[in-house]
Structures are given as structure tokens and as C-alpha cells.
Amino acid sequence: MPRSVVPALDDILDIPQPVLDQGFVTVIDYMGDDAAVPAAARLSYQKGTRKVSTDKGLIDYLMRHRHTSPFEMCEIKLHIRLPIFVARQWIRHRMANVNEMSGRYSELPREFYIPEPEHIAEQSASNKQGRGQPLSAGDQERFRARMTDAGHAAFDLYDEMLEANVARELSRVVLPLSTYTEMFWKIDLHNLLHFLALRMDSHAQYEIRAYADVIGDIVSRWVPDVWDAFARYRRNAVLLSAPAMDAVRAVLAKGAEDAPAALEAELEARGLSKREIREVMEKLV
């Protein structure tokens, strides 16, 4: 079977997409495209099942109903340069193949992350793992300068230890978490979308969110129909708990007699298909 070609993605193949101050994401290779997802689904359904009329309609259906295996038929391999502290968050997403640059075998270049002033902020009062209000401009610049000095001081010691023939595996321990590392990351589309759903969220740390935003743009070029379905049914959707659903049903029941009809009309006006409208109404009314 010939390799799928996606012109919008081939335009940036092997071209680093910048992230943060010295990081990047580069598409090395990919397999599959929008057409691969419905093709896999139809192979699963075979004869005797109802066929969704279009590829896009089937992609929407699969995304809406969390039928995930057809999305696993597409894969992408990325070359990523990122700070070590971001890589440690990243590696928690275990459904991928990873090969990271080794500080035991290689000398690490003098590259470390310094946040832009607006991202140097105080501890959030409402989020134990997040940032709150930005510090004053003076404090931002003061801490940026000290972070830069600390990074260079750490690399000065690292270089001194290497020159003294201290083992690389030991010399590297003096380097900060802001040091840049590099990795190849190969992942299927289903697990990639799960990564993006979490890491593009406003609650994610800014630095990993910056990478997720760039990867999201890459995915939108690669599989635009899947990306559209992901945006509508995952990223910008809300999952209601059972009590919340009961509350919505109660409000509809207490409203005007034509409330369900009005809701159905609103759904239609927003471009939902007849099948999707029927699914929503069955859940709510």
C-alpha cells in the first residue's frame, strides 16, 4: 500500500517548529491520514452493519462515541528539544515510544531555559501546583538574571568536571532542571489526542502547554477532519456527571411544554446532524 502523503504536513517535514526560547518540535515521519481512520472502522464493521454516509461523518461518530482503535492506525514521530523538567512531565504519558539523548554518552550543550518575564509569577493561592499573579517587573528581571547566572555557573562546573576527566554520568548531576534535552517521540493518534486534551488545557503548566499548542497545529495539518472532531467532541466539550444530567433533565421538565422542541431547534441551528441531535435528545429528555 503506498504511503499516504499530506501536503500540509509535508510542507513542514524535517523543519523545526520553535517552542519557548531554545526548544523545537520537528516532524520526522508519519503514517496514515484522515482516510485511514474510517477505513479501519469499516474493516471492523464489515458487511451487514449500517454504513455512515461519509468519511467525515464516520470520524465524528467514532470520536463522539469514544471508539478509539481506528485512531490508533495513524502514527507520527517527532524530534523534540525541551527542558528536562518538561520532559519529566511528558514521560508520564506512557503510551508512546521514546528515545532520549543520554548525558552518560554525550556532553550536554550549554542550553537552558529562561522564562519570559511575564511567566515569572507568584504561587497560585487556589492551585497548589500552578502560578498566580505575575511578579513586579523589577522582580521578574532580577530573577531572570539570577536564573541565567545560576545556569551558567552550573555549566561552568560541569565543564570543569569534564576537563578534569570526571565521568560524564557524574558530571551531569550538577546541571539544573532547566537544561535542554532532546528525544524522539513516536505515538499513535489516539494517545496523542489524549496527551493534547490534557496538555493544551489551561490548567497545564505553561511550558508543556506551549509544546502541546505547536503539536496541536501539526495535528491539524496532518488530520484536519479528525482535529475538527476532536475540537468539537473532546477539547471543547464538557462531560456531565450523572447528577448534573439529572439536574438538566429536571430543568427541561419544569420548563415550557415546548422546551424539548426548542432545544432540538437550537441544536439543529448549531449544525448538528440529525443522528447527533437524536443522541443528545435521548440523553436529556
Q: Which residue has the cell 561552568?
A: 156
Residue 144 bears catalytic tag:
no
| pLDDT tier for residue 249 given thresholds of 50, 70 and 90 | confident
Per-residue pLDDT tens for 47-67? 544 555 588 999 999 999 999
Q: Sign of the C-alpha dihedral, residues 231, 236, 239, 240?
A: negative
Per-residue pLDDT tens for 257-279? 677 777 778 778 877 788 778 87
Q: Single out the residue of 119, 125, 123, 156 nearest to residue 141, CA to CA.
A: 119
- What's the mean per-residue pLDDT of the chain? 89
Secondary structure class of 120 (helix, strand, coil): coil
**What amino acid is encoded at 83 in this protein?**
P
What does pTM read for this prediction?
Answer: 0.86
Fold (topology level) of 1-108+180-237:
Gyrase A; domain 2 (3.30.1360)
Q: Single out the residue of 25, 5, 30, 29 nearest to residue 15, CA to CA.
A: 25
Secondary structure class of 140 (helix, strand, coil): helix
Q: Which candidate in 81, 88, 146, 199 is catalytic?
A: 199
- Residue 124's pLDDT is what? 83
Q: Which residue has the cell 495535528?
A: 219
